A and B are shown apart, each in its own frame.
Chain A
Amino acid sequence: MKKNYAIIFLLLFLLCFSMTLWSQEKEKEELPFESKYKDPTTKVWVNTYGNIRIGKRFFWDAQTHFRFQETLNTPYVGQIAQIYNRHAIGYIYSKKTNFSLGGVVRINFNTDEESTDRNVVPEWRIWHQYQFAMPFYSAMIYHRIRIEHRWTQGFAENSEYIFRNRWRYMFRAKVPLNSHKLKAKTLYVSPEAELIMQSGKQVVASPMEDLRLTTTLGYIATPRLTFAAGMMYSMGQDLSNGGIYKQGWTMRFHMYFSPDFRKVKNKLPEIHLND
């Protein structure tokens, strides 16, 4: 099994790095004398996370995210900016460790109301992720490493795809509030911090794409269904000028569901992975 993954990763990396990208000739931007922070924008994310069990050790990771961004005419909630379709096949190594590999199609909408460019452009990604959980007193701590290979293009007519790699690390905790452990009918609070670095020919002075600091409040309705909502502050360097920092405040609403349609359950003797 592990061998298979190794081969696949190797293939993908070869694919990525063998690409020769012709960077667009661009005018050089002057770095400002001091770093500049743009005014924060407000966004609203509504995300669904599906984790559909398809085998003893495999699951289908199916996520759909709707991301809204404020515009001149629609402050706060804003208008639809991106729709994500993120899918992967996940492998459960143990109850505390899992890996995923899959693809993303993101539809980007042009939120600049004055723009005369295209309204909708697609964005493509291949992603793989490594997640580790650790119990910590009554809480759980999660480390998530996610690597994305990303092809994006601007809204301008005939704009070329540019290729970037994203290197993401997220640290998250889930602390039960009204119970001694994470179980059904439990409220929990979840602080998280994620750093997203990027690399690629286009990335000259802005390797820090985003730093996200989030706190969410969640409720485990059943072992298969959880709701959460939170607020996120984010900041990161502008791709075109490393001296300029974007900022954002995002309201996030999440639904997590994990159905298991397999027929082999409730069969005695019960077997849970490797215990």
Chain B
Amino acid sequence: MFQCYKKFLLPCIVFIITLQLPQLLVAQENQRYTGNHKIGSYYGKADYQYFISEQDTILDGPFKLQRSNLEALLEKEDASFLFQGSFKKGIADGLWKFQFGEFKSDSKTEVVDYEYRVRVTGIQDEGIGSIVDGKPNGSWKYEVNQIVDSKLDKALFKSNITFENGVPQRNFQMENEKAVLVGRFLRNGLAHDEWSSYDLEAIENTESWFFEEGLLKKIQIVEEGRTKNITVFTGHEDSFEIINIDKSYFRIIQSFLATQGISFSLNKGLPNLISTNENYYNKIDTLLNLVGSAEFKAQFKVQVPYFAIDSLESSEIRQITADYSEAILKAERLLNNSQLNILKRSDTDALFYYKSLENITENFLTPLKPFVELGNNNTLQFLNRSELIKQLWKNGKPSKEITVTLDSLTKAKSFVLNNADEFNFDGNSINSVSEVVRYAKNSITEIQNKLSAQLTSEERAQALILLEEDLIKQNESLGKLIANTKDSLNPKEQNALKNIEQLAENSLGKYATSNNPQSKLEYGQSIASCFDKLLTLTNKISDLPQQKRIINSLYQDAIWNPFMATVMDEEVKKRITTAYFKNLLPFFMQQLNDKVTCETVEVVLSQLNEVHLQMEQLRTVDTKKLERKLRKEEDPKEIMKLFSEHLTAKAK
């Protein structure tokens, strides 16, 4: 009788288990996350889908991150934001909306249709459009609106651009409070024809840029009925390159016009509008690349003449930038030195050097500034260098003999480097610029050396007074800190603090008994920097209980215990935490218990910092191998080595 049931029983169990299988498999597909999330500086509530591939979280499907805080709004002001769109395998794809708001409220509320309403005043940015394969596609609108009492007051900025796979197409329009800009592109994204910007307050004032397949031929400015035509590139240059219209492009145009003796402002009209738009697009691009990948650029294309730079020239340019920064830094330091500023009133030599420095800065360095900026932006290859260099010093290169008049009574006096003949300023090559800047740098160094003897003895006396005040202050705060934190620490840590306090006392005693002002200053300075470290370390040690709590809670994982139906914290990677708590921390304190010197303080400080950072990193990486190695290891130095090796290997 039972036989027939037995026959059914096994197939039935198999049947039941088979029914569950597909559910298990599907469960590993796209997952959804809702909760707090941070992208860059944007922290808010997220709702997105993702899958995991080789331990990486890859966004796939709808994505939303937003934040608004009523409490903050009512209290002071609130920065709200909303990013909504979707990803396809980690690449932005689909309709997207970006909103950034900065609002204040008058805190007055009203109830409308069962809703509490609060009026806000502020600024809201909004970008809407579609993205295909990470690139803007179709029509993209970006608007910045001023909101007053929850109503649109006026538009501060608007742009409307049509893209096809990231390439801008047809016409575009941009406007701010002052001007409107319209223009058009060829199918390949190159600027073409007339791009005009109109002044909204005086419509007859226009600025038009005339492009021919991306090459800027002419700028026409109509102002109060007068027309000014500026010819730009003729098209006769040897070779051309296609680049994006961005801030660098405008700087190239500005520098090019400067070589023609025309000064041109980038803070209004067309360059201003396009640069503003670029900033907004960059903001979106940065955001998208923080979570997935995208290439969200306006990519307006233009052609510019190209003048190749060879490797010799490029190394010379690097040298010029380096020398220039060094020279400027030294000159500014000396010119702002308070001792020199006092000394120059009574000492004619000091006054002579001071004036020479002013002369060098004004005649050698300041004219070079645009050149260095172009070099830093990697845009020198788009400009004719000899033309550019020619107009840096409009009245010819400065003279090696730097002549200054001290006052109306005395004769003018000159400063020349001893080896001035070795410098050749002739010509308009990059090399000539390099010579000028090197001459300036060497002159400043020479003046600095001449002045230093006079400055230091004065400075020393001043410094000693300041130093003593500092040392006493530092010692006091050290003592206070130690007294306040002792109770929460274990005996080893307390002993370490006692030793640190002792070291500070001893050093101060030694300083006080020293008589030679020079060596006293040197010793004082050395213990001042040591006191800094002692303070930092003391802070670090008094923070240890907190640090330990942080590490403890970091190495917990929430586990659902089915028998208790309760979520419990489980300690994870125990070998690592044991090594940290039982080996490393006691070892660090032991070093301070043995004998404390400024050197050990520095060592322990860097060990503490590094290991704490490593503990944070080790929590997130796979540490199976490391944990195996730690099983037998008790030597703290070896453990630190294993930590570093493991993290370096993981970083690769």
Report if A40 contacts B (CB, 8 A): no
Assess the A264–B28 pair: CB atoms within 8 A: yes
CA distance A53 to B562 in the complex (A): 9
Assess the A272–B57 pair: CB atoms within 8 A: no
CA distance A8 to B20 in the complex (A): 11
CA distance A142 to B2 in the complex (A): 36
CA distance A22 to B1 in the complex (A): 9
For A101, the chain B residues whose CB sits under 8 A away are 16
> What are 26 A-B pairs with beta-carbon distances under 8 A?
A4-B20, A15-B5, A15-B12, A22-B1, A53-B562, A58-B24, A59-B562, A89-B17, A95-B565, A126-B9, A140-B564, A181-B566, A182-B568, A222-B570, A224-B559, A224-B570, A256-B563, A258-B563, A260-B559, A264-B52, A266-B557, A267-B57, A268-B57, A268-B620, A269-B57, A271-B31
Which B residues are within 8 Å of any A CB, using their own CB? 1-2, 5-6, 8-9, 12-13, 15-17, 19-20, 23-24, 27-28, 31, 33, 35, 37, 52, 55, 57, 557-572, 620
| Contacts between chains A and B (CB distance < 8 A), count | 117
Known: A58-B24, A161-B2. A272 touches B568 (CB 8 A): no
Report if A124 contacts B (CB, 8 A): yes
For B17, the chain A residues whose CB sits under 8 A away are 89
Report if A66 contacts B (CB, 8 A): no
Known: A8-B19, A223-B570, A269-B37. A160 touches B1 (CB 8 A): yes
CB distance from B55 to the nearest CB of A (A): 7
Known: A58-B24, A95-B560, A258-B563. A11 touches B12 (CB 8 A): yes
CA distance A95 to B569 in the complex (A): 15
For B566, the chain A residues whose CB sits under 8 A away are 95, 133, 140, 181-183
CA distance A183 to B6 in the complex (A): 43
For B569, the chain A residues whose CB sits under 8 A away are 183-184, 223
Please classify the interface of chain B as helix (H, G, I), strand (E, B), loop, or mixed, using the class held by over half of its residues. Answer: mixed
For B20, the chain A residues whose CB sits under 8 A away are 4, 58, 89
Report if A38 contacts B (CB, 8 A): no
Query: Which of B19, B35, B55, B562 sits near A267, CB closer than 8 Å?
Result: B55
Which of B5, B23, B28, B562 is most buried by chain A, counting CB atoms within 10 A of its CB?
Answer: B562
Report if A29 contacts B (CB, 8 A): no
For B55, the chain A residues whose CB sits under 8 A away are 267
Report if A30 contacts B (CB, 8 A): no
For B2, the chain A residues whose CB sits under 8 A away are 151, 160-161
CA distance A183 to B569 in the complex (A): 7
Report if A180 contacts B (CB, 8 A): no
Assess the B560–A273 pair: CB atoms within 8 A: yes
CA distance A90 to B565 in the complex (A): 13
Known: A4-B20, A272-B558. 18 other contacts (CB 8 A): A1-B23, A4-B19, A12-B12, A51-B563, A54-B24, A95-B566, A126-B12, A140-B565, A142-B565, A151-B5, A182-B561, A182-B564, A182-B566, A182-B568, A184-B568, A223-B569, A266-B557, A268-B620
CB distance from A273 to the nearest CB of B (A): 7
Which of B20, B558, B561 is most buried by chain A, counting CB atoms within 10 A of its CB?
Answer: B561
Report if A207 contacts B (CB, 8 A): no
For B567, the chain A residues whose CB sits under 8 A away are 95, 272
Known: A15-B8, A267-B52, A267-B57. A55 touches B27 (CB 8 A): yes
Q: Which residue of chain B lies nearest to A266 when distances are taken between CB atoms in the complex?
A: B557
Total contacting residues, chain A, CB less than 8 A? 59
For B16, the chain A residues whose CB sits under 8 A away are 8, 89, 101
For A126, the chain B residues whose CB sits under 8 A away are 9, 12
CA distance A222 to B570 in the complex (A): 7
Q: Which residue of chain B lies nearest to A270 when distances are taken between CB atoms in the complex?
A: B558
For A256, the chain B residues whose CB sits under 8 A away are 563
Q: Which residue of chain A lies nearest to B48 when distances are taken between CB atoms in the complex?
A: A269
CA distance A19 to B4 in the complex (A): 10
For B57, the chain A residues whose CB sits under 8 A away are 267-269
Q: Which residue of chain A lies nearest to B25 when distances are taken between CB atoms in the complex?
A: A55
For B5, the chain A residues whose CB sits under 8 A away are 15, 19, 151
Report if A49 contacts B (CB, 8 A): yes
Assess the A220–B12 pair: CB atoms within 8 A: no
CB distance from A156 to the nearest CB of B (A): 15
Assess the A96–B12 pair: CB atoms within 8 A: no
Known: A161-B2, A184-B570, A269-B33. A51 touches B9 (CB 8 A): no
Report if A56 contacts B (CB, 8 A): yes
Assess the A258–B23 pair: CB atoms within 8 A: no
Report if A103 contacts B (CB, 8 A): yes
For A59, the chain B residues whose CB sits under 8 A away are 562
Query: Which of B8, B31, B568, B620 sits near A223, CB closer than 8 Å?
Result: B568
For B559, the chain A residues whose CB sits under 8 A away are 223-224, 260
For A212, the chain B residues whose CB sits under 8 A away are none
CA distance A53 to B570 in the complex (A): 16
Per CB-CB distance, the 7 closest pairs between chain A and chain B, nearest first, are: A133-B565, A223-B568, A223-B559, A161-B2, A55-B24, A51-B562, A223-B570
Q: Which residue of chain A lies nearest to B57 when distances are taken between CB atoms in the complex?
A: A268
CA distance A220 to B567 in the complex (A): 13
CB distance from A189 to the nearest CB of B (A): 13
CB distance from A269 to the nearest CB of B (A): 5
Report if A36 contacts B (CB, 8 A): no
Report if A71 contacts B (CB, 8 A): no
For A41, the chain B residues whose CB sits under 8 A away are none
Report if A57 contacts B (CB, 8 A): yes
Query: Which of A56, A103, A273 sits near B13, CB closer than 8 Å?
Result: A103
For B560, the chain A residues whose CB sits under 8 A away are 95, 272-273
Q: Which residue of chain A lies nearest to B8 when distances are taken between CB atoms in the complex?
A: A15
CA distance A92 to B13 in the complex (A): 19
CA distance A103 to B24 in the complex (A): 20
CB distance from A150 to the nearest CB of B (A): 12
CA distance A271 to B569 in the complex (A): 14
For B35, the chain A residues whose CB sits under 8 A away are 269
Q: Which residue of chain B lies nearest to A142 when distances are taken between CB atoms in the complex?
A: B565
For A22, the chain B residues whose CB sits under 8 A away are 1
Q: Which residue of chain A lies nearest to B557 when distances are taken between CB atoms in the complex?
A: A266
CB distance from A240 to the nearest CB of B (A): 21
CA distance A222 to B572 in the complex (A): 11
CB distance from B441 to the nearest CB of A (A): 51
Report if A174 contacts B (CB, 8 A): yes
CA distance A126 to B16 in the complex (A): 12
CA distance A267 to B515 in the complex (A): 64
Query: Which of B23, B557, B562, B572 sits near A55, CB closer than 8 Å?
Result: B23
CB distance from B433 to the nearest CB of A (A): 52
CB distance from A43 to the nearest CB of B (A): 23
Question: Which A residues, 157 to 184, have Cβ-Cβ distances below 8 Å to chain B?
Answer: 160-161, 174, 181-184
Query: Which of A21, A96, A102, A272 sits near B565, CB closer than 8 Å?
Result: A96
Report if A111 contacts B (CB, 8 A): no
CA distance A49 to B16 in the complex (A): 22
Q: Which residue of chain A lies nearest to B50 when distances are taken between CB atoms in the complex?
A: A269
CA distance A102 to B55 in the complex (A): 35
Report if A98 contacts B (CB, 8 A): yes
Report if A226 contacts B (CB, 8 A): yes
CB distance from B270 to the nearest CB of A (A): 45
CA distance A182 to B559 in the complex (A): 12
For B9, the chain A residues whose CB sits under 8 A away are 103, 124, 126
For B19, the chain A residues whose CB sits under 8 A away are 4, 8
Which of B23, B24, B557, B566 is most buried by chain A, counting CB atoms within 10 A of its CB?
Answer: B566
Known: A124-B9, A268-B57. A258 touches B562 (CB 8 A): yes
Known: A89-B16, A161-B1, A258-B563. A183 touches B568 (CB 8 A): yes
For A264, the chain B residues whose CB sits under 8 A away are 28, 52
CA distance A267 to B28 in the complex (A): 13
For B570, the chain A residues whose CB sits under 8 A away are 184, 222-224
For A265, the chain B residues whose CB sits under 8 A away are 557
Question: Which A residues, 211 to 261, have Cβ-Cβ distances below 8 Å to chain B?
Answer: 220, 222-224, 226, 256, 258, 260
For B561, the chain A residues whose CB sits under 8 A away are 182, 220, 223-224, 226, 258
CB distance from B451 to the nearest CB of A (A): 58
Question: Which A residues, 1 to 35, have Cβ-Cβ distances below 8 Å to chain B?
Answer: 1, 4, 8, 11-12, 15, 19, 21-22
